[in-house]
Amino acid sequence: MARYEMVAEEASKMIEDLVSFVCDSGTPPGLDGDENDLLRFKTEVARFAGLIYNQGIKTAPRAVQSTVRLRAVQKALQSFPLVCTMKKTSYTRRDGTEGTSNALSIISK
């Protein structure tokens, strides 16, 4: 097993713990206790956790290939109904030239 997969498994457990901590302490504010609302809320908490995990990978001192980053986030979110993909995005650099990068997208199934 690759090292990033082992770290992603640890992140997966941390995300599950975060969702449990946020959601299992009673009905979150703004929800009426409906089971579908709670599932959507848990999924959204997990999605944000995945985005934070992705930012952590991106800010590492050594560059990480986008496919490794994608697989790590996918593995970390494997127990939630979410789909992670990479999308090619364009941007303008400070010097005015155009550049492209891979942006992570996390959406509900």
pLDDT at 45: 87
Torsion angles phi and psi, residue 29, rounded to 5: -55, 140
Domain assignment of residue 65, yes or no: yes
Q: What is the reported pLDDT for 35?
A: 78
100 domain-assigned: no
Assigned domain for 95 exists: no
Spatial separation of the C-alpha atoms in residues 108 and 94, rounded to whole Å: 34
Answer yes or no: is 43 within a domain. yes
Q: What is the pLDDT of residue 40?
A: 84
Is the residue at 62 inside a domain? yes
10-residue mean pLDDT profile of the chain (109 residues): values are 81 86 71 77 88 82 82 90 93 92 90
Beta strand extents in the chain (DSSP E only): 82-92, 98-108
Whether residue 7 lies inside any domain: the answer is: yes
Residue 100 near residue 86 (C-beta atoms within 8 A): no
Domain range holding 67?
Answer: 3-80
pLDDT (0 to 100) of residue 7:
83
Q: Is the dihedral of CA 56, 103, 13, 23 positive or negative?
A: positive
Residue 26 lies in a domain: yes
Return the structure tokens found at 108: 């509900």
Query: Total structural domains in the chain?
Result: 1
